[in-house]
Amino acid sequence: MSHITSQMLIDFVYHEADLLDTKALDAWLALFAQDGVYWMPLQPDQQDARLMGSLMYEDRVLLATRVERLKGKRTFSQQPESRCHHLLQQPRVLQVHDQGGRTRTASHYTETRADEQVIYAGWATHDLQIESGELRIRCKRVDLVNCDAAFGNIQLFM
């Protein structure tokens, strides 16, 4: 990949959401860099994921474990399966450079299982980098509007 464009970053964000909505979880996991992380802060404007508690802070090993659990036939918390839908505003490109870039996307995320449906609102920041010639997620940070509220189980990925 020789030249990163804003449109490439925007397309990446839409593609990632589509993989989640269609439960193509192995393909979604492959979007993460080897040292990539998925972070959901517990406090508004939280700056540190390691010294402060988070709703989620998962590296590739933990993400892979969750993906395998979600695909498992004996995962009783997923009978019936959870489903999700991402409604995204157009991603805003914050930074673009030769090795990747950063986007911020406002979204509404719906997760449903059986008769329950939960809607979350917030922003996703994607820090993207080139790895093996492809864009990969270095950090996906999901800031929920009400991040400091009490939540039930969030089964899937926002």
Q: Where are the alpha helices (DSSP H) in the chain?
A: 6-21, 25-29, 60-71
Strand 100-113 and strand 83-88: the pairing is antiparallel
Q: Is domain 6-144 in CATH 3.10.450.50, yes or no?
A: yes
- Helix/strand/coil percentages in the chain, nearest 5: 25, 45, 35
Token reading at 61: 């090993």
Token reading at 8: 């490439």
d(CA 118, CA 125): 21
Q: How many CB atoms lie within 10 A of CB 77?
A: 11
Radius of gyration of the chain (CA): 15
pLDDT at site 120: 96
User: Would you give per-residue pLDDT tens digits along the chain (158 residues)?
Assistant: 568 999 999 999 999 999 999 999 999 999 999 999 999 999 999 999 988 999 999 999 999 999 999 988 777 778 888 999 999 999 999 999 999 999 999 999 999 998 999 999 999 999 999 999 999 999 999 999 999 999 888 889 99
